[in-house]
Amino acid sequence: MLQKGYFEALQANFSKLIPHARECGLTIDRLDAQGALARLPYRREWLGDTERGLLHTGIITTLVDTVSGLAALSATGQFEPIATLDLRMDYLRPALPDKTLYSHAECYRLTRSIAFVRARAWQDDEQQPVAVSQSTFMRNRPGGRK
């Protein structure tokens, strides 16, 4: 049962729930039953290859893991603790400097104990992702396993 105002409350309290994401400057553009869409503005300190000016893959993983977790929470329709069990990242092309990173994630299956999520990250063109991922999250539902 979806709690009234759930998505709005989740989006409004996002930075309190995930302080690391707030410090990175991550913002949520959309959050609903279909998933989460977020952006991460460019920062020079995120360069992993300063010679070629390419972003470190760790910041892409941070973005994707965070957005995937929000997609899992969106699918549950209620506030509950979750934890990343597995996160597989496939890096398809380098992330270039001076460009915002975007990520969209959707929970495609939800069981009583696991949420299964797919995500992608891109810069200019969503059809040309820099990375795609598949992940699972453990649900720790209030009141135990029902």
- Residue 133 near residue 68 (C-beta atoms within 8 A): yes
Domain 6-139 sits in which CATH superfamily? Hotdog Thioesterase (3.10.129.10)
Please tell me what DSSP assigns to residue 7: H
Task: Grade residue 89 by pLDDT with cuts at 50, 70 and 90.
Answer: very high
Q: What is the DSSP secondary-structure string of 36-99?
A: EEEEE---GGGEEETTTTEEPHHHHHHHHHHHHHHHHHHHHTS---EEEEEEEEEE-SPPPTTS
C-alpha separations of 58 from 46, 64, 77, 92, 112 in Å: 9, 10, 29, 14, 30
Provide the residue ranges of all domains of the chain, joining segments of one domain with +.
6-139
Residue 146: band (very low, low, confident or very high) from pLDDT cuts 50, 70, 90: very low
Per-residue pLDDT reduced to its tens digit, 103-124: 999 999 999 999 999 999 999 9
Mean pLDDT of 132-138: 98
Higher pLDDT, 115 or 51: 115
Query: Could you tell me the pTM of the whole model?
Result: 0.90
pLDDT at 3: 62
What integer pLDDT is reported at residue 143 of this predicted model? 59
